[in-house]
């Protein structure tokens, strides 16, 4: 993902894959339905990271950082380094 549009699309797809309406995911995440709608359409051109994390968790997802061009998350890399396993 490289744009807010991509993040908005991902959020909408995560909600749909979880078979949740905007109202249902909003209730689970403790945000207003209008917040979900605004974030999925980028109505204000930005989004709250804290609301994004709560909404993704409500849909059954975790937000993780992945270095561009890599499949492993930052958490994966740190765990490997802690265990002494380094990519060559």
Tens of pLDDT along 7-61? 999 999 999 999 999 999 999 999 999 999 999 999 888 789 999 999 999 999 9
Q: What is the pLDDT of residue 71?
A: 77
Question: CA 41 to CA 45: how far, in whole Å?
Answer: 8
Chain CA centroid to CA 4, Å: 11
Question: CA 70 to CA 8: how far, in whole Å?
Answer: 22
Q: What is the pLDDT of residue 85?
A: 58
State if pTM tops 0.85.
Answer: no
Of 50, 60, 46, whose CA–CA distance to 18 is shortest?
60
Q: Domain 4-63 class? A: mainly alpha
Chain CA centroid to CA 10, Å: 7
């Amino acid at each position: 993902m490289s744009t807010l549009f991509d993040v908005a699309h991902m959020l909408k797809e995560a909600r749909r894959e979880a078979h949740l309406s905007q109202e249902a995911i909003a209730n689970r995440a403790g945000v207003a339905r209008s917040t979900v709608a605004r974030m999925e359409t980028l109505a204000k051109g930005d989004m709250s990271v804290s609301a994004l994390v709560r909404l993704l968790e409500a849909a059954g997802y975790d937000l993780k950082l992945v270095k561009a061009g890599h499949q492993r998350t930052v958490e994966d890399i740190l765990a490997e380094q802690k265990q002494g396993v380094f990519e060559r």
